[in-house]
Amino acid sequence: MSSHERLEVECPSCRAKQDILIWKSINVTRDPEMKEQLFTGKVNYFTCSTCGFEGFISAPLVYDDMDKKICVNYVPVEYLEDDGYLQDSFTSDGLVRLVLHKDTAPIADTGYFRHAHIVFSMAELIRYVLFRDRLTQVFDAAQEQ
């Protein structure tokens, strides 16, 4: 499932506070429209209603394509300073630590999730997804011949 939360953020330019919807994960298999939103730069993008400042929010984002088994994690560079975040989110060898809550059904195939591709900018996240989609296209076409 895709998940989001509504948070009050402060504009980095004019300090005005406003509520914004922050996506923590997007599951493009269950919510295909979220992929469109991502590609058009509408996910975790902030536009200040006071001064017009705009830019991506520094919030980690998980991209999950269950069909193609593609998982990409965006880690804002600021989060590399956060020991707690790193320990909770990753293993020492850079795999994703799976945090399963009691009420979550066990995930059958988590291999691709654990080996998520890690990126450090939203632009790179989008580029990587485009790259994987192209690979799928090219190899599917080759198979049909």
Report how far residue 61's alpha carbon sits from residue 129's, in angstroms, rounded to the nearest whole number.
13
Q: For residue 50, state whether it binds Zn ion (rule: CB under 5 A).
A: yes
Q: For residue 118, state whether it binds Zn ion (rule: CB under 5 A).
A: no
Near Zn ion in 16-45, by CB under 5 A? 16
Whose Cβ is closer to Zn ion: residue 49's or residue 91's? 49
Whose Cβ is closer to Zn ion: residue 8's or residue 67's? 8
- Supply 84's token pair: 């707690």
Taking the complex as a whole, how short is the minimal distance between the CB of residue 7 and Zn ion, in angstroms?
16
Among 54, 37, 36, smallest CA distance to 45 is for 54
Taking the complex as a whole, how short is the minimal distance between the CB of residue 9 and Zn ion, in angstroms?
10
- In order of 71, 90, 124, the CA distances from 128 in angstroms are 10, 20, 6
